[in-house]
Every structure is written in C-alpha cells, then in structure tokens.
Amino acid sequence: MFLAITFFIGISIIMIFPIMSQAQSEEKTFVTHTGAVVKTSGEIIDPLYVVSTVEFDPMNYLRDFNYGRVSELSDGTTLREYTIIAEDDKIMEVSSGVFYNVWTFNGTVPGPTIRATEGDLLKIKFINNGQKEHTIHFHGIHPAGMDGVFEPVGGNGGQFVYEFTAGPVGVHPYHCHVMPLEEHIVHGLYGVFIVDPKEERQPADEMVMVLNGLDTDFDTENNFYAANTIPFYYQHHPIQINTNELIRIYVVNMVEFDPINNFHLHGNLYKYYPTGTDLVPSFYTDMITLSQTERGIMEFEYQYPGKYLFHAHKVEFSEKGWVGIFLAKENLDTQEVNYGS
Ligand SMILES: [Cu+2]
C-alpha cells in the first residue's frame, strides 16, 4: 500500500512538473568567454517554463538599430512600422554556468533598439506570445491610450498596435508596465527608443549600452551587473574603436533594486547630454550617476591608441560584471573609418 501511494505521488509530480524535472537534469558542457571548458551540474534557475536557448551577442546588439519598415504617407510624413513580440519562457545563459529565465522582446534582452526621426509616425504591432499579460510603455510624448499601462495585452497571441508620433528628440527607454512591475522589468522586458533630430547629429560611431542587473536567485538583490546583459563581456571582448573618431553612446540605466548606477570612462572625458533632449551638452565629465531609467548621450573621441576601461564607479557593480574595454586603434584617415566590431 505504502509503495503504491509513493508510486502514485511520484507519477503525479512528473505529470505536473515534467518540464521542471527535465530542465534541472540537463547537463551542459561549453566554452566560456575566456576559452575555458566548463561542465555544469545542469541546474537551471527558475525553470518555470519550456526551456529554449536565447542567442544573444552583445557585440551585435551594440550597433544594431531597428529603423522599422519605412514608407511615406500622402502628406509626406514618414511612417515606420515595427513588430515586437514578447515571450516569457526563455532560459538564457548569462554567464558561465548561470542560467536565467528571461522575458524577451523579439527574443533578446534588451529588446531591439527602435529608432526614428522626430515627427515620424510610428506603428508598433505588439504580439504577446508569453504566458502572462504584458505591454510596451514608451517614455516620450504620446496619447494616453498609447501609454501601455491601462491596456494589458493577454498572453498566447494577444495583440495591440501602438501608434504615435516620434518625440521628443533623445534616448528613451521602453518597457513592459504590467504589475508587479519590478518582476516584469528585471526579467528583461525593456529596450531603447532613439528619436533623432530632423537635422542629423554629427556623424559618429554610435552604440547603445543598457546597464542592467540580474537577480539570479530571486531575493530582490542583483547577483550580476552588466552593460548589455552579459557580465564582463566587453572586458573579454574589447569594443574596437578608432582614434580621432567621434564615439556616441546612448546609455540607459535599467538596473532595478539598486538606487543608482554610474558610468566612468578611463583616459578621457565625454560631453554628456542628459536624456539627449537638448542638443547642447550639460557636462564635460568622466563620471555620470544614473537612477532607474535615467539615460543620456555621451560623446568623446580618443587621441591616443590603446586599451581603456569603462565601468561603474560603484565598484561592487564593476566587480560583478559591469566593466568593459575600448580598444582604440590608430586612425590616421578620419574620412575612411572601419568600425571593426
Ligand atoms: Cu510584462
């Protein structure tokens, strides 16, 4: 009788949690960023949903801008159409042997960098293929019904079209705004929305850095920090830039749980445009401090070739992954530049 009950309970657990059992027993062997071969126990943190791998390359993300599908309306207005699909069932390897249940926009954390010019009409078709309700809340100026707060979109294929005129000029975050908000953000439902001025900014090697934190043990404290999700990535894979070429970084702080973050640049200072809404820089500095969703545009160029660190001057954050290197190569001809990512 006892054996029968035990057997019945065992079968019930397997029937109720088949994916969880499978996820936790899966071992993996892989090569780390530094080339070491590591074998994990197979433990996957938060194995709540179907396991699938998320391919994310921070180097590609850095300079990848989504301008949408472009057409022109009869009045001459530029229409840009985008599709963003939310999912909440991905498992992503964020560091050697560390797996995290990420909630994604278009399959990545952060989601795509949406880019438009001030005055363009934007249509963003949002499809929620997740299990939970999600939205997209864009920072910026738009009608109340397009704010992504009071229009939760149901999972398993729910849809909504956000339609508004791009503005103001600057760099803005977008993120899911469904409660509990902290949970939806810290799992990864956010991205960057850049609105360019009609008269273009000076040509530059442009890149996006989203500062984020990863709470891998769900105690509402971050275990890892990063620029663009993968801790230490740009330290092990330095970002190649050219000397005597303008570098423009759109930086957005999406760290939850910690009240501040910051960005310190070595061997240089940068012009800083808070939120990017003013075309005149407010500071010339090597250190900015950012609270949640604070953001801005940094501009600088290196005169001398070599390796330069950039990192959080909140040292705990840099020691837990928010650190990287610029590798400045000699560039004698500033007209012909090779971004060399
Ligand atoms: Cu959400």
pLDDT tens across 207-226, in order? 999 999 998 877 888 989 99
pLDDT at 118 over 60: yes
Q: Is 24 left (phi over 0), alpha (psi -120 to 50) or beta?
A: alpha
Residue 173 C-alpha to ligand 1 middle, in angstroms?
Answer: 15
DSSP H stretches of helix in 194-253: 233-236
Displacement of CA 139 from its chain's centroid (Å): 15
Position 18 scores a pLDDT of 36
Query: How far is the centre of ligand 1, averaged over its atoms, from the C-alpha of 148 (Å)?
Result: 10
- What count of residues does the chain have? 341
Q: What is the whole-number distance in angstroms between the Cα of residue 231 and the centre of ligand 1? A: 23
Residue 22 pLDDT greater than 80, yes or no: no
Rounded to two decimals, what is the model's pTM?
Answer: 0.84
Looking at every residue in the chain, the average pLDDT score rounds to 86
Average pLDDT over residues 239-246: 96
- Cα 140 to ligand 1 centroid, rounded to whole Å: 19
Distance 132 CA to ligand 1 centre (A): 7
How does pLDDT run across 25-50, given as a tens digit for each residue? 456 565 544 455 555 554 444 433 34
* R_g (Cα) of the chain, nearest Å: 22
C-alpha to C-alpha distance for 138 and 125, rounded to whole angstroms: 13
Q: How far is the CA of 192 from the centre of ligand 1 (A)?
A: 16
pLDDT score, position 27: 60
Alpha-carbon distances of 296 from 114, 191, 208, 222, 292, rounded to whole Å: 16, 14, 10, 23, 12
* CA–centroid distance, residue 143 to ligand 1 (Å): 21
* The pLDDT of residue 56: 85
Q: What is the mean pLDDT of residues 5-15?
A: 42
Phi, psi of 213 (to 5 degrees): -125, 150
Q: How far is CA 85 from the centre of its chain?
A: 15
Ligand 1 centroid to 183 CA: how many Å?
A: 8
Q: How far apart are CA 123 and CA 117, in angstroms?
A: 13
89 alpha carbon – ligand 1 mean position (Å)? 12
Predicted confidence at residue 83, as pLDDT, reads 98
Helix (H, G, I), strand (E, B) or coil at 235: helix
